[in-house]
Amino acid sequence: MITQDYFGLEDKVCVVTGGASGIGLAAATLLAEVGAKVIMVDIHQENGQKAAAELQRKDYRVEFLQCDVSNGNDCIAVRDHIETKYGTIDVLFNNAGVIRRKTVVDLEESDWDLVINVSLKGIYLLSKYLIPLMARGGGGSIINTGSGWGIKGGDQAAAYCAAKAGVVNLTKAMAIDHGPQNIRVNCICPGDTDTPLLRDEAKQLQVKEDEFLVSSAKGRPLERLGTPRDIAKGVLFLASDLSEWVTGTDLIVDGGGLA
Protein backbone atom coordinates (compact mmCIF):
# COMPACT_ATOMS: atom_id res chain seq x y z
CA MET A 1 0.00 0.00 0.00
CA ILE A 2 1.23 3.48 -0.88
CA THR A 3 1.50 5.71 2.17
CA GLN A 4 1.01 9.34 1.21
CA ASP A 5 2.94 10.68 4.18
CA TYR A 6 5.96 8.61 3.18
CA PHE A 7 6.33 10.52 -0.08
CA GLY A 8 5.33 13.94 1.20
CA LEU A 9 3.17 14.70 -1.84
CA GLU A 10 -0.27 14.98 -0.24
CA ASP A 11 -1.94 18.16 -1.60
CA LYS A 12 1.16 19.12 -3.58
CA VAL A 13 0.57 20.81 -6.94
CA CYS A 14 2.17 18.83 -9.78
CA VAL A 15 2.36 19.65 -13.49
CA VAL A 16 2.97 16.83 -15.97
CA THR A 17 3.60 17.63 -19.64
CA GLY A 18 2.86 15.05 -22.28
CA GLY A 19 0.26 13.92 -19.78
CA ALA A 20 -2.31 12.54 -22.22
CA SER A 21 -0.59 9.21 -22.82
CA GLY A 22 2.41 6.99 -22.16
CA ILE A 23 4.90 7.95 -19.47
CA GLY A 24 3.18 11.26 -18.79
CA LEU A 25 -0.19 9.65 -18.12
CA ALA A 26 1.39 6.96 -15.93
CA ALA A 27 3.22 9.62 -13.90
CA ALA A 28 0.11 11.78 -13.55
CA THR A 29 -1.81 8.73 -12.33
CA LEU A 30 0.80 7.70 -9.79
CA LEU A 31 1.21 11.23 -8.44
CA ALA A 32 -2.55 11.49 -8.05
CA GLU A 33 -2.61 8.13 -6.26
CA VAL A 34 -0.32 9.48 -3.55
CA GLY A 35 -2.54 12.51 -2.97
CA ALA A 36 -1.15 15.19 -5.27
CA LYS A 37 -3.18 17.70 -7.24
CA VAL A 38 -2.15 17.06 -10.84
CA ILE A 39 -2.39 19.32 -13.87
CA MET A 40 -2.02 17.23 -17.02
CA VAL A 41 -0.64 19.30 -19.90
CA ASP A 42 -0.63 18.13 -23.50
CA ILE A 43 -1.11 19.46 -27.02
CA HIS A 44 -3.67 16.74 -27.75
CA GLN A 45 -6.89 18.11 -26.26
CA GLU A 46 -9.26 15.21 -26.93
CA ASN A 47 -6.91 12.56 -25.53
CA GLY A 48 -6.00 14.74 -22.57
CA GLN A 49 -9.57 15.50 -21.61
CA LYS A 50 -10.51 11.83 -21.89
CA ALA A 51 -7.56 10.73 -19.72
CA ALA A 52 -8.31 13.37 -17.10
CA ALA A 53 -11.99 12.42 -17.00
CA GLU A 54 -11.12 8.77 -16.39
CA LEU A 55 -8.93 9.72 -13.43
CA GLN A 56 -11.55 12.11 -12.08
CA ARG A 57 -14.05 9.24 -12.04
CA LYS A 58 -11.70 7.54 -9.60
CA ASP A 59 -11.88 10.65 -7.41
CA TYR A 60 -8.33 11.72 -8.18
CA ARG A 61 -7.68 15.46 -8.18
CA VAL A 62 -6.60 16.05 -11.75
CA GLU A 63 -7.36 18.52 -14.49
CA PHE A 64 -6.28 18.94 -18.10
CA LEU A 65 -4.83 21.99 -19.83
CA GLN A 66 -4.09 22.10 -23.53
CA CYS A 67 -0.65 23.51 -24.22
CA ASP A 68 1.98 23.45 -26.93
CA VAL A 69 5.09 23.53 -24.75
CA SER A 70 7.13 24.98 -27.60
CA ASN A 71 4.88 28.05 -27.64
CA GLY A 72 5.69 30.74 -25.11
CA ASN A 73 2.17 32.16 -24.98
CA ASP A 74 0.73 28.72 -24.23
CA CYS A 75 3.23 28.27 -21.40
CA ILE A 76 2.36 31.69 -19.98
CA ALA A 77 -1.32 30.69 -20.03
CA VAL A 78 -0.49 27.56 -18.01
CA ARG A 79 1.46 29.70 -15.54
CA ASP A 80 -1.40 32.17 -15.18
CA HIS A 81 -3.94 29.40 -14.59
CA ILE A 82 -1.81 27.76 -11.91
CA GLU A 83 -1.03 31.06 -10.20
CA THR A 84 -4.72 32.01 -10.11
CA LYS A 85 -6.06 28.64 -8.98
CA TYR A 86 -3.26 27.26 -6.79
CA GLY A 87 -0.85 30.11 -6.11
CA THR A 88 2.21 27.89 -6.41
CA ILE A 89 3.62 24.70 -7.90
CA ASP A 90 5.56 21.98 -6.11
CA VAL A 91 6.50 19.51 -8.87
CA LEU A 92 7.12 20.02 -12.59
CA PHE A 93 7.60 16.94 -14.76
CA ASN A 94 8.84 18.18 -18.14
CA ASN A 95 8.03 15.06 -20.13
CA ALA A 96 6.64 16.16 -23.51
CA GLY A 97 8.72 14.96 -26.44
CA VAL A 98 8.70 13.66 -30.00
CA ILE A 99 11.07 11.57 -32.08
CA ARG A 100 11.96 11.39 -35.76
CA ARG A 101 14.00 8.33 -36.75
CA LYS A 102 16.28 9.79 -39.42
CA THR A 103 19.94 10.61 -39.99
CA VAL A 104 21.04 14.22 -40.41
CA VAL A 105 21.14 13.65 -44.17
CA ASP A 106 17.56 12.42 -44.36
CA LEU A 107 16.13 14.71 -41.71
CA GLU A 108 14.09 17.67 -42.93
CA GLU A 109 14.76 21.00 -41.26
CA SER A 110 11.15 21.08 -40.08
CA ASP A 111 11.63 17.70 -38.36
CA TRP A 112 14.79 18.94 -36.62
CA ASP A 113 12.96 22.03 -35.41
CA LEU A 114 9.99 20.00 -34.16
CA VAL A 115 12.10 17.59 -32.11
CA ILE A 116 14.32 20.28 -30.61
CA ASN A 117 11.44 22.66 -29.93
CA VAL A 118 9.20 20.16 -28.16
CA SER A 119 11.80 18.06 -26.35
CA LEU A 120 14.29 20.78 -25.35
CA LYS A 121 12.86 24.25 -25.87
CA GLY A 122 9.66 23.13 -24.17
CA ILE A 123 11.58 22.41 -20.98
CA TYR A 124 13.17 25.84 -21.10
CA LEU A 125 9.88 27.66 -21.66
CA LEU A 126 7.71 25.98 -19.06
CA SER A 127 10.54 26.06 -16.51
CA LYS A 128 11.11 29.76 -17.23
CA TYR A 129 7.54 30.63 -16.33
CA LEU A 130 6.91 28.14 -13.51
CA ILE A 131 10.18 28.35 -11.56
CA PRO A 132 9.30 31.79 -10.09
CA LEU A 133 6.02 30.32 -8.75
CA MET A 134 7.89 27.34 -7.34
CA ALA A 135 10.51 29.55 -5.71
CA ARG A 136 7.85 31.80 -4.23
CA GLY A 137 6.26 28.74 -2.62
CA GLY A 138 9.52 27.71 -0.96
CA GLY A 139 10.95 25.35 -3.56
CA GLY A 140 10.11 22.05 -5.15
CA SER A 141 11.22 19.43 -7.62
CA ILE A 142 11.66 19.54 -11.39
CA ILE A 143 12.09 16.32 -13.36
CA ASN A 144 13.10 16.45 -17.02
CA THR A 145 12.68 13.47 -19.32
CA GLY A 146 15.95 12.62 -21.01
CA SER A 147 16.82 9.28 -22.56
CA GLY A 148 19.50 6.64 -22.67
CA TRP A 149 20.21 8.18 -26.05
CA GLY A 150 20.96 11.45 -24.33
CA ILE A 151 23.93 9.71 -22.73
CA LYS A 152 25.05 7.50 -25.62
CA GLY A 153 24.30 7.69 -29.32
CA GLY A 154 21.62 5.85 -31.24
CA ASP A 155 21.04 5.05 -34.89
CA GLN A 156 18.77 7.07 -37.17
CA ALA A 157 17.74 9.47 -34.42
CA ALA A 158 20.07 12.44 -34.82
CA ALA A 159 17.69 15.19 -33.69
CA TYR A 160 16.35 13.11 -30.80
CA CYS A 161 19.84 12.27 -29.54
CA ALA A 162 20.85 15.93 -29.79
CA ALA A 163 17.73 17.09 -27.94
CA LYS A 164 18.03 14.52 -25.15
CA ALA A 165 21.75 15.19 -24.65
CA GLY A 166 20.75 18.83 -24.28
CA VAL A 167 18.14 17.86 -21.69
CA VAL A 168 20.74 15.99 -19.64
CA ASN A 169 23.10 18.95 -19.42
CA LEU A 170 20.35 21.57 -19.15
CA THR A 171 19.20 19.65 -16.07
CA LYS A 172 22.62 20.03 -14.45
CA ALA A 173 22.75 23.75 -15.25
CA MET A 174 19.27 24.28 -13.80
CA ALA A 175 20.20 22.34 -10.66
CA ILE A 176 23.16 24.66 -10.10
CA ASP A 177 21.20 27.84 -10.77
CA HIS A 178 18.12 27.04 -8.70
CA GLY A 179 19.47 25.00 -5.81
CA PRO A 180 19.70 28.17 -3.67
CA GLN A 181 15.93 28.54 -4.16
CA ASN A 182 15.42 25.05 -2.71
CA ILE A 183 14.52 23.73 -6.16
CA ARG A 184 15.88 20.32 -7.06
CA VAL A 185 16.29 19.52 -10.77
CA ASN A 186 16.89 15.99 -11.99
CA CYS A 187 16.66 14.04 -15.22
CA ILE A 188 15.05 10.65 -15.72
CA CYS A 189 16.46 8.66 -18.63
CA PRO A 190 14.16 5.87 -19.78
CA GLY A 191 15.18 3.00 -21.97
CA ASP A 192 12.78 1.59 -24.55
CA THR A 193 9.34 1.78 -22.98
CA ASP A 194 6.09 0.43 -24.40
CA THR A 195 4.41 3.72 -25.26
CA PRO A 196 2.65 5.15 -28.32
CA LEU A 197 5.92 6.98 -29.05
CA LEU A 198 7.87 3.73 -29.27
CA ARG A 199 5.23 2.07 -31.43
CA ASP A 200 5.30 5.08 -33.75
CA GLU A 201 9.03 4.51 -34.23
CA ALA A 202 8.23 1.16 -35.83
CA LYS A 203 6.06 2.93 -38.40
CA GLN A 204 8.76 5.51 -39.07
CA LEU A 205 11.34 2.77 -39.61
CA GLN A 206 8.84 0.73 -41.67
CA VAL A 207 9.22 -2.43 -39.60
CA LYS A 208 6.55 -4.66 -38.08
CA GLU A 209 5.47 -3.37 -34.67
CA ASP A 210 5.69 -6.72 -32.89
CA GLU A 211 9.16 -7.42 -34.26
CA PHE A 212 10.30 -3.94 -33.31
CA LEU A 213 9.10 -4.30 -29.73
CA VAL A 214 10.82 -7.67 -29.39
CA SER A 215 14.08 -6.31 -30.80
CA SER A 216 13.88 -3.30 -28.46
CA ALA A 217 13.81 -5.62 -25.46
CA LYS A 218 16.77 -7.74 -26.54
CA GLY A 219 20.12 -7.43 -24.83
CA ARG A 220 18.84 -5.98 -21.57
CA PRO A 221 19.75 -7.81 -18.36
CA LEU A 222 16.09 -7.68 -17.29
CA GLU A 223 15.04 -8.94 -20.75
CA ARG A 224 11.87 -6.92 -21.25
CA LEU A 225 10.61 -3.54 -22.38
CA GLY A 226 9.87 -0.95 -19.76
CA THR A 227 6.31 0.00 -18.93
CA PRO A 228 5.12 3.57 -18.41
CA ARG A 229 4.53 2.64 -14.76
CA ASP A 230 8.21 1.62 -14.43
CA ILE A 231 9.27 5.11 -15.41
CA ALA A 232 6.54 6.75 -13.33
CA LYS A 233 7.96 5.10 -10.21
CA GLY A 234 11.28 6.82 -10.88
CA VAL A 235 9.47 10.12 -11.34
CA LEU A 236 7.70 9.59 -8.02
CA PHE A 237 11.05 9.06 -6.29
CA LEU A 238 12.52 12.25 -7.77
CA ALA A 239 9.37 14.25 -7.01
CA SER A 240 9.07 13.06 -3.44
CA ASP A 241 10.81 13.62 -0.12
CA LEU A 242 12.61 10.30 -0.66
CA SER A 243 15.05 12.22 -2.89
CA GLU A 244 15.29 15.43 -0.87
CA TRP A 245 19.11 15.56 -1.20
CA VAL A 246 19.23 14.51 -4.85
CA THR A 247 19.72 17.15 -7.53
CA GLY A 248 21.58 17.51 -10.82
CA THR A 249 21.58 13.79 -11.46
CA ASP A 250 20.49 11.43 -14.25
CA LEU A 251 18.36 8.50 -13.14
CA ILE A 252 18.67 5.76 -15.75
CA VAL A 253 15.61 3.48 -15.83
CA ASP A 254 16.23 1.06 -18.66
CA GLY A 255 16.35 -2.54 -17.41
CA GLY A 256 20.14 -2.42 -17.52
CA GLY A 257 20.37 -1.57 -21.22
CA LEU A 258 23.17 0.99 -20.92
CA ALA A 259 25.07 -1.32 -18.58
pLDDT digit string, tens, across residues 3-24: 667 799 999 999 999 999 999 9
Mean pLDDT of 77-82: 98
CB 238 within 8 A of CB 250: no
pLDDT digits (tens, 9 = 90+) for 232-258: 999 999 999 999 999 999 999 999 999
What is the extent of the structural domain holding 137?
11-193+228-246
> Does the annotation count 6 as an active-site position?
no
Dihedral of alpha carbons 166, 77, 96, 207, sign: negative
Residue 210 pLDDT: 74
Q: Is residue 18 part of a domain?
A: yes
Of 254, 182, 162, give the one whose Cα is nearest residue 217. 254
CATH number for the domain that contains residue 176: 3.40.50.720
pLDDT digits (tens, 9 = 90+) for 107-158: 999 999 999 999 999 999 999 999 999 999 999 999 999 999 999 999 999 9
Counted domains in the chain: 1
Q: Is residue 180 part of a domain?
A: yes
Global pTM reads 0.94
Angle, vertex CA 126, rays to CA 125 and CA 131, nearest 5: 110
* Predicted confidence (pLDDT) at residue 104 exceeds the cutoff of 80: yes
DSSP 220: -
Residue 209 pLDDT: 74
CB 253 within 8 A of CB 190: yes
Catalytic residue among 60, 124, 129, 160: 160
Q: Is residue 209 part of a domain?
A: no
pLDDT digits (tens, 9 = 90+) for 195-240: 777 677 767 777 787 776 657 677 789 988 889 999 999 999 999 9
Q: Is residue 60 part of a domain?
A: yes
Q: Is residue 198 part of a domain?
A: no
pLDDT digits (tens, 9 = 90+) for 159-193: 999 999 999 999 999 999 999 999 999 999 998 88
Q: Is residue 95 part of a domain?
A: yes
* Residue type present at position 34: V
Q: Is residue 207 part of a domain?
A: no
Q: Is residue 88 part of a domain?
A: yes
SS3 68: coil
CB 160 within 8 A of CB 205: no
